[in-house]
Structure 1
Amino acid sequence: MLKDAFSEVYMKFKLHFYQKAFERLKEREASLTTVETFCMEIIYALGKPTVAEFSRVANISSPNAAYKINNLVKKGYIRKVRSDVDKRECYLEVTEKYLEYYNISNSYLTEVMERMEKRFTKEELKFVKRVLEVMSEELMPEVDLSHKRD
């Protein structure tokens, strides 16, 4: 039953995002392919990854990663920022253009969180927060965001 409840909430977040993304398609604003959207989500989740870090997490070859990154740079969704320490290394940084695109789902998350704050007590919210932290830190070891750069 817990699995069903969690699955339903996760599905509603995804469906809301898709609904809003399709609204943008109607308006001709969306220019990311499905694969590029996945790439952007990985890059954003990692903070400011290097090309090698992105390639490793996406489980794709370095040349394939470079191709995808170059397309995203051309479309204006990311920029390459040269490392101050090692000039050969570049970090991938999302642009304002992507943040506006990402805000489709993030604004809904904020809206749902505000509703939760009105609906639940501080103690209940504290418990939900703790459950989510345990899920992230202990129960999902396959996904490591500990090296995330802000």
Structure 2
Amino acid sequence: MNENVKTLNTLITSIFYDLTDIEKRIFAQGKFNDVSINEIRTIQAIGVENLKKMSEVAMALKITVGTLTISINRLVKKGYVRRVKIEEDRRIVMLGLTEKGKLVYQTHEKFHCEIIENIVSTLNENEQKMLIQSLENVCDFFKSKYY
């Protein structure tokens, strides 16, 4: 393994673990200390715009509907998510965020925006484009190799 590969491996691994750790600490210390990182990701997948079907959220999270149901049950009980049955077909369950859930969503979005703003503030326009292209290449690799 050459030196650049070693450095990139160290950086990517460190960024991944640091982000996860920082997110855990931010939410553990705040008023949303009863929400796990996986539950925050579920809240993010539901979003604040429109109601979503269970299957849509499960697909976005790359989990089964059964696994999602367990998480949704917890989030409903904690007051972050609401279930809505569609009158035309009562079998369809839609998901939406409560006001409390929307606050978690916004807090998480703000955290990510601060990170991205900090990163891009140190880069010129060309460097930003190069970073975007590089990250798109990484995403494409993951999608083609593992999905």
Q: TM-score, normalised by structure 1?
A: 0.67
- Name the structure where strand makes up a greater proportion of residues: 2
RMSD: 3.1
> How far 1:100 moved relative to its partner?
2.3
Decide which moves more: 122-131 or 70-79: 70-79
Q: How big is each residue's C-alpha offset from its partner over 1:94-138, in whole Å with a ceiling of 9 and x where there is no partner?
A: 3332232344443232122222222101111111112222322x2
| Structure 1 unmatched ranges of 5 or more | 144-150
**CA distance in structure 1 between the partners assigned to 2:56 and 2:114 by the alignment:** 32
Question: Is 1:112 the equivalent of 2:115?
Answer: yes
Larger relative contact order (Cα-Cα within 8 Å, sequence gap ≥ 6): 1
Q: 2:24: which partner in 1?
A: 18
Q: How many residues were matched structurally?
A: 134
Decide which moves more: 11-20 or 120-129: 11-20
- Name the structure where helix makes up a greater proportion of residues: 2
Identity %: 21
Q: 1:6: which partner in 2?
A: 12
Question: Is 1:97 the equivalent of 2:97?
Answer: no
SS of structure 1 residue aligned to 2:96: strand
Return the match for 1:139 from 133, 138, 141: 141
CA contact (8 A) 1:43 1:92 kept: no
> How far 1:12 moved relative to its partner?
1.9
| Structure 2 unmatched ranges of 5 or more | 1-6
Question: Is 1:88 the equivalent of 2:94?
Answer: no
Return the match for 2:63 from 40, 54, 58: 58
